[in-house]
Structures are given as C-alpha cells and as structure tokens.
Chain A
Amino acid sequence: MLRRLSVVVLVLFACHTSARRHENPPAQRIVSLLPSFTELLFAIGAGDRVVGRTQWCDYPPAALSIPSVGDGLPPNIEAVMARRPDLVVLYNAGPNVTAAKQLERAGIQTVLIDLNRLEDLGPAARTLGRLTGREEQAESLAIALDSLAGRPPPPATTSLAFVVWDNPPIIIGHGSYLDQLATQAGARNVFGDIAAPSAQVSLETIVARDPQWIAVLSDSTVPPAFAKRREWRAVRAVRAGHFLLLPGSLFGRPGPRSGNAIQQLRARLAR
C-alpha cells in the first residue's frame, strides 16, 4: 500500500517538475515572428538572444543583423526550425495557431501572445520577461506601458480618419491600435463607432463625417496617389491637403515606442 502510494507521488512529482522544467530555463535562442515582439525583447535586454526575425522587424537597428525567416504571414516552419530555436514567439491569430502546433510537435516551445491594443503591451512584456528570465526589466517596462494604456485620453481637439486602402475605401475602426493612437493624441476617429479593427465604407460616408485629417501609414513624404482622384476630392481634408503621413515602423505597430508615437502624432496635429 505504501509502495503504491509512493509510486503515485513520484509520478506526480515527475510530471510537475517536468512541467516546470518547461518554464524554468530561460530561452536562449528565440525566433520572434512579429516586429512588436522583437522590439519588446530588445527593450527588456533579451535582444542578444533573438536568432530569427521576420523581414518586417526593423527596429532597433541591431535587429537588422539578425537573420530573417521570411515575412511570417504565415510563418515558414522550415526557416524557423533552421535557426534551432528553443522558443518561438507568435502573434495570436489563425494561421499562427496552426504554425505553433506544428512547431510544438517538432519539440520547440512556442507562445502565442495577443497584441491588438495598448493594454496588451504590459502583459506581453511580462510574458516575454518570464520566458527569458528577465522579469525585473520586463516588469518596469510593463508598468510604464500599462500606465500609458490606462491614461485617460485628452479631450479631442480634432478629428481624423485612418485610410488603409482607397478602392474600395477601407478605414480603421475602434478595434484597432491605430484608433487608440489617435484618441491618445487628441484626435477623434470619425469611424470610432465601428467596432471592428478595419472596415470597408462608402466614400460618401467619409465625406459626410468630414474628418479634419486623413491619416495614412506611409513612408513617403508626398500625399498618396488617391489624393488626385476626382471622387476623393469630395473629401474636404483631401482637397485641403490635410494628410498625416505616418511611417509604418513607428506608428503601425504597438510596442515600446508607442508612447513616442503618440507624442509625435500629437505634435503633428498641433501644427
């Protein structure tokens, strides 16, 4: 009887420790499949352990010397495995879930992290801190990010619409991080009533809601091509040339630089 009991206890103990062993040793070879995660990893001092990144991961500059494993949409399993990682960090969405399962089957630890809005940044930082054994650094970053997310937005002094595509017109709605960016910078998203992250709308709706600014994720300094199209010139902001051309690297992704992005946006709107 006692022998049987001790066997059970031993088995349970072994399972428990093996589970903990999964979490315990900090990851040494990390493949990051989202630019935001790459930035976070560098920000918590684990950048030297990143051995693979997507081609879009361009910040900080040190990240550019890390080998790319493709565009990550969906992840190229072979390329990822070729980096011999012990941890792969993925954005929690459809095709990535499948990719994560494949990697787990190959014996590689994966983690799927939600990162849609500002409030997801703190928890993401903490998760990465825990996985890399950099809990302290992650915690201080997370506190700063949490307070950024929790900050009450300033009163809106202007309005904008974020245009992702022109034909058909696709705008950013409330579910997107960009909407938060705008709100925190003191600009009301005229399409904030749409819950989805993005949606196709009629051009006449944009005209009717009359945003003061048209924001576009663009690395260029000239207004987008659709500004010259006759039907878009029915929008007052287009006629007046009120475009906010926001480089994608800084403004397009939630990350440690989000506070910086909000500040810059606020400054641009003030001009």
Chain B
Amino acid sequence: MKWTLLVILAVLALALSVVLGPAAVPLGELLRSDIVWNLRAPRALLAFLVGGSLGVAGAGLQALVRNPLADPFLLGLSGGAGLGAVIAIALHLSGPWALPIAAFIGALAALGLVYRLGLIGGASLDPRILLLGGVAIGAFAAAITTAIVSLADAAELRNAFLWLWGGLSGASWDSVLLVALYAPIPLVVLLAASRPLDLLALGEEPAQYLGADVERVKRRVYLAASLLTAAAVAVSGVIGFIGLVVPHIARLTWGHRHRSLLPAAFLGGGALLAFADTLARTVVAPRELPVGVVTALIGVPVFAFLLKRWTIA
C-alpha cells in the first residue's frame, strides 16, 4: 500500500514538473510544446535522478558513519566542486561542459583527500575521521575558493556562487542521459550493501560477527555515496537537505531495513526535488529561486519536526 502511494507521489511530482512552469503552456498543447519536451521534461527527470541519488547517498552515509545527522555534503565534496568550478572560470576555460567537468574533478579530488585521511589510523576506514575530514577539507576548499574569488575577476566568479547554490537550469537530454548512465552503478552497489548496512547499525564488531565484511562494505559504501554526490554537484550544484531529511522521512514509514529503505529514499528524494524545483520555477515567476534555497526552506521545518519526534522516542 505504502509503495503504491509513494509511486503515485513520484509520478505526481513528475507530472507537476511538466505541467507547471513560468511559461504558460496550455494543457492542450503540452505534447506539442517545445518548452515541455526540450526543457521541462529533461529537467523533471534530472531533478528526479539527482534527488533520488542524494536520498540514497544520504541513507547509505548515515548508516556508514552511524550518525543520523550525516548529509552527503558533509563529505567535503561541495567544497571541492566549488573550487573546481571557480578555477575553471578564473582560467577562462571554454566549452559548454567546462564547469560541470571541473566541478566533478574538484569533488573527486576532495573525495580522494578525505578518503586518505580516513585511512590515517591504519587500514580501517574510520567513519568519525571521514566526517571530520570532510568538514575540514570542505572548509579548506571553501577558503581557497574565496581567496581566488577575491583576487581574480570578481563579477563572473560571484555568479559562480549562485551556481553552487543549486540549480537544475543546466538540464537537457544530454545531462539526463549522462546521469542515467552513470548513476545506476553506484546505486546498485549501495543497494547490494543493504544487509551489511543493517548489521553495521549494531556496531562494527557485532556486524563482523554476523557475517559482514566490514572493511569492504565501508569502502564501497563511502565511494558509491561519494560518487553519486559528486555527480549531483557537478550537474546541479549543492542541493542540501535532501540527503539528510529524506532518509529520515523514509525510515518513519519503512523502518531501518535498507533493502526497502534505499528504494524508498530514492523515490522520495526524487519526488521531493522534482516538487521543490517546480516551486522554485513558479513561486516568484518570472524570476526563479535557487532550488537549494527551496529545499532548505522545506527541509528545515521537516527536520525540526523529526527532531522533536526523535527526542520524544
């Protein structure tokens, strides 16, 4: 029953994304409309893919670091992506894909650094160091970014920060195809880790005694979640709160078994981002809000409500 509702919700969110928008497209002309086919449809799909990826990455990460407050953007990836983007602009790199590629490389560089830090205690990946390292590397990257912005050509770079705030404006069938080909691999890796993630909630030692290859699982989950997040940032900037809040909402109904939690987080995250993007496009039309602002505005009250429920439990 609840799965049916979730699927209906997802379909509804997608439908609203396609039907609603600042440009008035009468219902009768939807199927013939250029705007709908070339702009709204790919944008809706991209929002769904990105939102779903962030939801799953968030759920996996929360299980990995055993901290329900973990968000994919705590890994330092957004800092790395922002730095990559700003360097690309400062160096005047041309090409329509220069920004996303540079952001992706920046995110990967941050990923590599944090991973390396996480191994500092030995061969075992320490989740607490991953979190702390992520925050540190993220702050470090942000500092360098600010330095570059203040030293180089100011105006353009300030607009780069708007990009970083999150937006699906760059959505096209090209980017949808890219993400649709890329995302399934890390998503499947995370789904395959469902049972070990359930066990990990008991602690690393008990999980090991229940048959989980803990080291391998930690590595895979960290890399898969990070790769999903890196792609999301490269394609749509930093869209916060989805990775943090959607897993919690999903847990309220689906519980903690990751086998059902992860798919629910995917559908829920996708629906939420598609819906938030529709709001971003229509609420102050003809202007547009950065979608990261909308997810934060929706996410914070939901988060507060969850916290209240959590402390009561």
Q: Inside 8 A of B180's CB, which chain A residues have their CB?
A: none
With known contacts A167-B167, A204-B21, A204-B23, A230–B173 Cβ distance under 8 A: yes
Return the chain A residue nearest B151 by Cβ: A71
With known contacts A205-B22, A231-B39, A234-B39, A164–B169 Cβ distance under 8 A: no
The verdict on A19 contacting chain B, using a C-beta distance below 8 Å, is: no
Chain B residues 1 to 45 lying within 8 A of chain A, measured CB to CB, are 21-24, 34-35, 38-40, 42
Proximity string of chain A (155-174) to chain B, C-beta cutoff 8 Å, 1 when within and 0 when not: 00000000011111110000
The verdict on A229 contacting chain B, using a C-beta distance below 8 Å, is: yes
Complex contact A170–B22 (CB within 8 A): no
With known contacts A194-B286, A200-B290, A207-B35, A230–B167 Cβ distance under 8 A: no
Complex contact B281–A229 (CB within 8 A): no
With known contacts A207-B35, A230-B173, A202–B162 Cβ distance under 8 A: no
Q: Chain B nearest CB: distance from A94 CB in Å?
A: 14
The verdict on A193 contacting chain B, using a C-beta distance below 8 Å, is: yes
Proximity string of chain B (284-300) to chain A, C-beta cutoff 8 Å, 1 when within and 0 when not: 01111110000000000
Chain A residues 207 to 238 lying within 8 A of chain B, measured CB to CB, are 207-208, 225-226, 228-231, 233-234
Complex contact A208–B35 (CB within 8 A): yes
Q: Inside 8 A of A204's CB, which chain B residues have their CB?
A: 21-23, 35, 39-40, 281
The verdict on B144 contacting chain A, using a C-beta distance below 8 Å, is: no
Complex contact B162–A168 (CB within 8 A): yes
Return the chain A residue nearest B42 by Cβ: A231
Q: Inside 8 A of B24's CB, which chain A residues have their CB?
A: 208
The verdict on B163 contacting chain A, using a C-beta distance below 8 Å, is: yes
CA distance A22 to B286 in the complex (A): 48
Give the total of B residues in contact with A, Cβ under 8 Å. 34
Chain B residues 237 to 266 lying within 8 A of chain A, measured CB to CB, are none
Complex contact B286–A205 (CB within 8 A): yes
Give the total of A residues in contact with B, Cβ under 8 Å. 29
Chain B residues 24 to 72 lying within 8 A of chain A, measured CB to CB, are 24, 34-35, 38-40, 42
Complex contact A225–B22 (CB within 8 A): no
Stretch in B94-102, B127-135, B193-201, B215-223 with 4+ CB within 8 Å of A: B94-102
Proximity string of chain A (167-196) to chain B, C-beta cutoff 8 Å, 1 when within and 0 when not: 111100000000000000000000101100
With known contacts A200-B162, A202-B21, A228-B96, A167–B170 Cβ distance under 8 A: yes
Complex contact A201–B287 (CB within 8 A): yes
The verdict on B120 contacting chain A, using a C-beta distance below 8 Å, is: no
Return the chain A residue nearest B282 by Cβ: A202
Complex contact B163–A167 (CB within 8 A): yes
Q: Chain A interface mostly helix, strand, loop or mixed?
A: mixed
The verdict on A82 contacting chain B, using a C-beta distance below 8 Å, is: no
Complex contact B169–A205 (CB within 8 A): no
Complex contact B288–A201 (CB within 8 A): yes
With known contacts A165-B159, A208-B35, A229–B170 Cβ distance under 8 A: yes
Q: Chain B nearest CB: distance from A139 CB in Å?
A: 33
CA distance A170 to B285 in the complex (A): 13
The verdict on A203 contacting chain B, using a C-beta distance below 8 Å, is: yes
Complex contact A191–B286 (CB within 8 A): yes
Q: Inside 8 A of A205's CB, which chain B residues have their CB?
A: 22-23, 285-286, 288
Q: Inside 8 A of A2's CB, which chain B residues have their CB?
A: none
Proximity string of chain B (181-220) to chain A, C-beta cutoff 8 Å, 1 when within and 0 when not: 0000000000000000000000000000000000000000
CA distance A208 to B36 in the complex (A): 11
Q: Inside 8 A of B290's CB, which chain A residues have their CB?
A: 168, 200
Complex contact B98–A231 (CB within 8 A): no
Complex contact B172–A229 (CB within 8 A): yes
CA distance A230 to B38 in the complex (A): 9
Chain A residues 109 to 154 lying within 8 A of chain B, measured CB to CB, are none
Return the chain B residue nearest A233 by Cβ: B38
Q: Which of B98, B163, B169 contacts A203 (CB 8 A)?
A: B169
The verdict on B114 contacting chain A, using a C-beta distance below 8 Å, is: no
Chain B residues 273 to 287 lying within 8 A of chain A, measured CB to CB, are 281, 285-287
Return the chain B residue nearest A234 by Cβ: B38
Q: Chain A nearest CB: distance from B17 CB in Å?
A: 11
CA distance A164 to B159 in the complex (A): 9
Complex contact A168–B96 (CB within 8 A): no
Complex contact A207–B39 (CB within 8 A): yes
With known contacts A201-B22, A203-B39, A167–B169 Cβ distance under 8 A: yes
Complex contact B96–A226 (CB within 8 A): yes
Q: Which residue, of B21, B35, B169, B171, has the highest number of chain A Cβ atoms within 10 A?
A: B169
Complex contact A170–B159 (CB within 8 A): yes
Complex contact B99–A200 (CB within 8 A): no
Q: Inside 8 A of B23's CB, which chain A residues have their CB?
A: 202, 204-205, 207-208
CA distance A194 to B167 in the complex (A): 21
Complex contact B287–A168 (CB within 8 A): no
Complex contact B286–A73 (CB within 8 A): no
With known contacts A225-B94, A229-B96, A207–B159 Cβ distance under 8 A: no
CA distance A193 to B170 in the complex (A): 24
Q: Can you offer 6 A-B residue contacts whose CB atoms are under 8 A?
A: A207-B35, A229-B172, A230-B38, A231-B39, A231-B172, A233-B38
- The 7 residue pairs across chains A and B that have the minimum distance between CB atoms: A208-B23, A230-B172, A231-B172, A165-B159, A229-B96, A168-B167, A234-B38
| Besides A207-B34, A229-B172, A230-B173, 5 new A-B residue pairs in contact (Cβ under 8 A), listed by A number | A167-B163, A201-B22, A202-B281, A231-B39, A234-B35
